[in-house]
Chains A and B, each alone.
Chain A
């Protein structure tokens, strides 16, 4: 009887041993939380298979939620302990809140993190800059996309300075067939994002000006900000008829139909414009003020990725993040999503020439991020909302550039201590 029992135990053990090799890969896969449901095919079809070629025994699954629900559903899952192992990070305060609540782990010991510049990491660092809790993944770059056919037809050259820019606009307007600038103020955010944040860094000298605003050493009523708004006000005569009622979608359509020459843009438009426009188009960085030596671009950090502190697979998650700092990942990602640029310092070659053009500006110009995103939009009135409102009003002509800058400063000084001194 005893023999019998031990035999049975042996048999069970043997069975388990036999099962074991098959059982190991069945370990829970790493799950990636994300709001980029558009990118599902790219992750599961390109990026994860490439990772598995190197690390065949770490299973990874991309499990996105719809963008609008992401923050709420992620918070609920984090609270309930059912969130994925890797968490796609929104920039700035949304992720900072997660880190402070103990949902994200510090990543400072990640070796590959050294390949990311300060400005890239700023979006996922504590206010004192000591701890980084998400790996920067991608940014979008602002500039101007132009219709090459119109430029050739009117024999225009790409403007480098602000006065060249307005000379170009004058020529297009004088010829009369095309709208010089495809932008409207109905949705307000275009005026702020493709206007103010696009051309502004050249005036406030990128990171330097942004940091001074945060520290309170510069005011939004200072000359650089008035000059930025003054240039926006000068755009008015070159915008389409009835631009005050022109929406973002109207502007995109106006340009892709070939009826407008220049489109104040974000690099995310590339893939969409490739689909819609039947003419060649190219891009130039924001023209510099006359006499300025350096150029600055808005290279705005948009997506990061971090590790869920409650994950049972933190080791493997770290391996995945370490792989995400490599050139291999950067190349795959940048080519799969033209217009979203990896933030590491690897030299990349992109298949899309326009995306490559945008990316090359990083070598020519200094990168900065939108100045309202870090710390400065935490109070009431909200600086980002104010910039939308003021930029649109300045372009509409209902507010002067100086009054607009004063309004922005007044709003910030109403709650932000470094500006109350």
Chain B
């Protein structure tokens, strides 16, 4: 195979200067480059440009350098809200990593058990919430957890835990955790499907060989299957990271843009929304909003870079 390939390359090399493939390549790349430039790169650059401007007393836009960022990080009227949102967002992400992904791995492992009946049903049922609108998810969970009409208190009382019930969504200490878990419930199906697909791709020879060597199912899972799906878990983690630091809709649907109580559920998305579009009597400030968006972009970029440099390379290296 490799010999044939080399031969082909040599042959192509003989065609000399003005090789058509390059021009053809450019031609094929053009549509994607154009679409990305117009809808992704240009808005991104425009946002960064907007973040360096401000509206002066006369209502005109003027260049302000890094003033918006200095305000965002050092003026307590802005920085308190920003750090609060960043801390909440980090917790939101940590809960997803600690709950969503282990559950997804466990569910995927169960789904790929040989001899499981109604596999397709479980897969669909668990994936279904991911296809629902967050507005519906927020509404349904608010009803379930409602201290007035919710079923959760009755259910908890039935198993003797009634005393533990509390209006969690209304408490500063628990609201964000509950919202994170709602989001986990909604999206757990996606990592589960990805990991499941990776698990069933593992050749049976490997597990069979391990069985012959005397390894149990538990051992096979930890020492053979899990390392082999590690790249997928890495991918899922980075998708979770990007999704969580861009999150907005669930919090907005359940708690509104003021993300109460006392901003305990405020994440970067809702903070950005209030800043850019305004809220009630607060006028929107597009330049300041763009600064927040730029910081969010940098955070996400840094996260993705760490993943690419530290993890994906190593995974590729160990798994040629």
Residue numbers of A with Cβ under 8 A of B are: 92-93, 184-189, 240-247, 250, 254, 372-373, 377-378, 380-385, 388-389, 392-393, 396, 398-399, 414-415
Contact = CB atoms under 8 A, between A and B. Distances in A.
A188 B258 contact: yes
B260 A392 contact: yes
A396 B264 CA distance: 14
Contacts of B169: 186, 244-245
A242 B147 contact: yes
Contact of B261 (A185, A254, A378): A185
B280 interface: yes
Contacts of A393: 261-262
B140 interface: no
Given A245-B167, A381-B77, A398 B281 contact: no
Given A186-B169, A245-B170, A380-B78, A385 B258 contact: yes
Contacts of A380: 77-78, 282
A382 B147 contact: no
B190 interface: no
A242 B281 contact: no
Contact of B260 (A188, A373, A383, A384): A188
Interface of B: 77-78, 142, 145-149, 166-172, 255-256, 258, 260-263, 274, 279-283
B279 A382 contact: yes
Nearest to A414: B77
Nearest to B275: A380
B208 to A, nearest CB: 53
Contact of B148 (A185, A240, A378): A240
Closest CB pairs A-B (n = 3): A242-B147, A244-B170, A242-B167
Contacts of B147: 240-243, 245-246
11 contacts: A185-B260, A186-B170, A240-B148, A241-B148, A241-B167, A245-B169, A372-B281, A383-B281, A385-B274, A392-B262, A398-B172
B281 A389 contact: no
Contacts of B281: 92-93, 372-373, 377, 382-385
Given A188-B258, A242-B146, A254-B148, A384 B280 contact: yes
B217 to A, nearest CB: 44
A250 B148 contact: yes
Given A243-B167, A250-B146, A372-B281, A388 B261 contact: no
A378 B282 CA distance: 7
For B78, B142, B281, which residue has the most chain A Cβ atoms within 10 angstroms? B281
B77 to A, nearest CB: 5
Given A186-B261, A242-B167, 13 more contacts: A186-B169, A186-B170, A241-B167, A244-B171, A245-B147, A245-B169, A246-B147, A381-B77, A389-B263, A393-B261, A393-B262, A396-B170, A398-B172
A186 B282 contact: no
Contacts of B274: 385
B148 A246 contact: yes
A411 to B, nearest CB: 8
B233 to A, nearest CB: 35
Which of A241, A380, A393 lies at the interface centre, i.e. has the most chain B CB atoms within 10 A of its CB? A380
A185 B167 CA distance: 11
Contacts of A389: 258, 260, 262-263
